[in-house]
């Protein structure tokens, strides 16, 4: 028989923590104290919360775990700027988290929102492994705290996490409530002991779930949105991103346009450059047209195209576009005045593409057993 898994302190909202402490007859300032240990001191155990009375620490330990995941693999890229973890959750499912540093200025955590993914994008390693379950809000939060702790340990406390992207495993809008709850938790103000991440430093990336985009437009927080487009015609997008059959480009563009009209915030269209597949001039021209249709204010450049050379994965035969093709594609966008960036492939030597570390350890596991 399995022992029940205690809830994690990261699963609690500030209100839930406050209520629980009130039930226990604790003075009101304890909630702030514990919150501060969790989100600013980044405590790695309940015992480390040394200014709490012993009896309260014991009670907390009987009721909650601090966190509920363990690192089962960790990789560093050869240039030292990218680190990646494979975490095992309390129920045994595994997820990936990445830390990317950019010249020591921007330090971005890339976190998972689900274990596996049901969207089945053909070129994506996570899609190839299928869907396991939604992550709890606390499990999304805990990935961020883990990365922040690692950063602090590496730099003696000098460096803090500056950005958060939900671009790891899973489709954030298929786990909408938990994702938003995690975001709100991480935005909890520093003055109140919270992590204090600014909404503008957070980006949610969606495969294009239209109801999710519409709902996101109504949120009060100013979090950034990225849409994984990858193809500018339904025929091609149906192949690469099968959810396109349910939410075709016309609906996706219309929802994104409404989001822009409502929020006036910049959106980026993500484009994995796949050799000979979606890097043609025809696709670039169709993309220019889609961007025009999406942007409600042509004077304001609200739509940005973010290209990334494909990270090859085991279940997909495609390869990264060649340099000349990428230049040609960019020229079409540039001539149309569309802002665009070519993302450098970070951590290619550590399989830092979505779901790739998990796919790799799954293959490597039997070998490890025989040699160990
Ligand atoms: N479900 C979300 C988050 C997925 S991962 C979404 O679809 O946006 C974040 C980005 O990485 C997405 O744009 C996704 O399409 C892209 N991606 C997935 N596999 C990739 C690969 N092998 N090479 C390059 N980009 C990839």
pLDDT digits 0-9 by tens, 240-255: 999 999 999 999 999 9
User: How high is the pLDDT of residue 130?
Assistant: 93
Q: Which atom of ligand 1 is nearest to the CA of 355?
A: 19
Residue with token string 């022992």: 3
Number of Cβ within 10 Å of residue 98's Cβ equals: 27
Sorting pLDDT into bands at 50, 70 and 90, what band is 355? low
Sorting pLDDT into bands at 50, 70 and 90, what band is 370? very low
* Distance (Å) from CA 108 to ligand 1 centroid: 16
* Distance (Å) from CA 297 to ligand 1 centroid: 27
* Distance (Å) from CA 354 to ligand 1 centroid: 6
Residue whose CA is closest, atom 18 of ligand 1?
Answer: 124
Answer whether 241's CB lies under 8 Å from 121's CB.
yes
* Ligand 1 surroundings by CB, under 6 angstroms: 121, 123-124, 167, 171, 205-207, 228, 270, 272, 308, 310-311, 313, 353-354
Q: Which of 247, 326, 354 to mutate to test the pocket of ligand 1 (most atoms within 8 A of CB)?
A: 354
Judge whether residue 368 has pLDDT over 80: no
- pTM comes to 0.93
Q: Which atom of ligand 1 is nearest to the CA of 170?
A: 1
Q: What mean pLDDT is reported for the chain?
A: 91
Quote the DSSP letter at residue 257: H
Judge whether residue 359 has pLDDT over 90: no
Judge whether residue 109 has pLDDT over 50: yes
User: How high is the pLDDT of residue 67?
Assistant: 87
Cα–Cα nearest to 287, from 325, 253, 239: 253
Answer whether 321's CB lies under 8 Å from 305's CB.
no
User: How high is the pLDDT of residue 372?
Assistant: 23
Residue whose CA is closest, atom 4 of ligand 1?
Answer: 167
User: How high is the pLDDT of residue 153?
Assistant: 86
3-state secondary structure of 68: coil
Distance CA 202, CA 44 (A): 24
Distance CA 270, CA 226 (A): 7
Distance CA 275, CA 278 (A): 7
Residue whose CA is closest, atom 21 of ligand 1?
Answer: 311
Q: How far is CA 200 from the centre of its chain?
A: 14
N-terminal to C-terminal alpha carbon distance within the chain: 29
Segment 282-303 mean pLDDT: 96
Q: Which atom of ligand 1 is nearest to the CA of 309?
A: 24
User: How high is the pLDDT of residue 366?
Assistant: 33
Sorting pLDDT into bands at 50, 70 and 90, what band is 80? confident
Sorting pLDDT into bands at 50, 70 and 90, what band is 363? very low
C-alpha pair distances (Å), 198 with each of 128, 164, 291, 325: 33, 10, 28, 37
Beta partners for residue 46, in sequence order: none
Judge whether residue 174 has pLDDT over 90: yes
Distance CA 335, CA 287 (A): 13
Sorting pLDDT into bands at 50, 70 and 90, what band is 194? very high
Residue whose CA is closest, atom 19 of ligand 1?
Answer: 124
Distance CA 164, CA 182 (A): 11
3-state secondary structure of 179: helix
Q: Is 74 a catalytic residue?
A: no
Judge whether residue 354 has pLDDT over 60: no
For residue range 53-69, list pLDDT tens digits in order: 999 999 999 999 998 89
Decide which of 348 and 209 is more confident: 209
Task: Show Cβ contacts of residue 79 under 8 Å, excluding neighbours closer than 6 positions.
Answer: none
Residue whose CA is closest, atom 1 of ligand 1?
Answer: 171
Q: Is 117 a catalytic residue?
A: no
* Distance (Å) from CA 124 to ligand 1 centroid: 6
Segment 118-122 mean pLDDT: 96
For residue range 260-285, list pLDDT tens digits in order: 999 999 999 999 999 999 999 999 99
Judge whether residue 289 has pLDDT over 80: yes
For residue range 5-44, list pLDDT tens digits in order: 788 999 999 999 999 999 999 999 999 999 999 999 999 9
Sorting pLDDT into bands at 50, 70 and 90, what band is 102? confident
Q: Which of these ranges, 103-117, 146-160, 277-291, 352-366, has the smallest mean pLDDT?
A: 352-366
Judge whether residue 350 has pLDDT over 80: no
Cα–Cα nearest to 195, from 164, 150, 226, 156: 164
Q: Which of 26, 96, 101, 139 is catalytic?
A: 96
* Distance (Å) from CA 308 to ligand 1 centroid: 9
* Distance (Å) from CA 350 to ligand 1 centroid: 16
Report all structural domains of the chain as residue ranges with CATH numbers, in order of start.
9-63 (1.10.150.530), 70-371 (3.20.20.70)
Segment 162-166 mean pLDDT: 96
Q: Which atom of ligand 1 is nearest to the CA of 205?
A: 8
User: How high is the pLDDT of residue 73?
Assistant: 95
């Amino acid at each position: 028989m399995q022992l029940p898994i205690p809830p994690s302190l990261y699963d609690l909202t500030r209100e839930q923590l406050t209520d629980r402490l009130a039930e226990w007859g604790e003075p009101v300032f304890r909630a702030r104290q514990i919150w501060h240990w969790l989100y600013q001191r980044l405590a790695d155990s309940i015992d480390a919360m040394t200014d709490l009375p012993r009896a309260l620490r014991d009670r907390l330990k009987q009721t909650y775990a601090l966190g509920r995941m363990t690192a089962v693999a960790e990789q560093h890229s050869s240039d030292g700027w990218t680190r990646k973890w494979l975490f095992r959750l309390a129920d045994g499912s595994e997820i990936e988290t990445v830390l990317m540093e950019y010249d020591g200025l921007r330090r971005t955590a890339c976190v998972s929102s689900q274990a596996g993914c049901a969207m089945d994008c053909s070129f994506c390693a996570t899609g190839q492994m299928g869907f396991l379950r939604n992550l709890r809000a606390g499990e999304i939060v805990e990935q961020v705290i883990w990365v922040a702790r690692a950063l602090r340990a590496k730099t003696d406390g000098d460096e803090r996490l500056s950005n958060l992207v939900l671009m790891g495993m899973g489709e954030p809008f298929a786990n909408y409530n938990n994702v938003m709850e995690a975001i709100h938790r991480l935005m909890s103000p520093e003055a109140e002991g919270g992590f204090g991440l600014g909404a503008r430093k957070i980006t949610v990336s969606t495969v294009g779930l239209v109801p999710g985009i519409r709902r996101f437009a109504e949120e009060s927080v100013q979090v950034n949105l990225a849409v994984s487009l990858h193809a500018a015609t339904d025929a091609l997008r149906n192949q690469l991103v099968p959810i396109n059959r349910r939410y075709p480009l016309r609906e996706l563009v219309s929802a994104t346009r409404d989001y822009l009209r409502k929020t006036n915030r910049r959106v980026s269209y993500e484009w994995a450059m796949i050799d000979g597949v979606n890097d043609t001039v025809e696709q670039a021209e169709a993309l220019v047209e889609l961007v025009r249709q999406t942007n409600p204010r042509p004077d304001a450049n609200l739509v940005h195209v973010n290209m990334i050379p494909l990270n090859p994965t085991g279940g997909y035969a495609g390869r990264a576009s060649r340099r000349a093709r990428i230049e040609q594609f960019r020229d079409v966008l540039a001539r149309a005045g569309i802002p665009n960036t070519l993302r450098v492939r970070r951590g290619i030597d550590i399989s830092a593409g979505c779901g790739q570390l998990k796919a790799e350890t799954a293959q490597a596991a039997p070998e490890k057993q025989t040699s160990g």
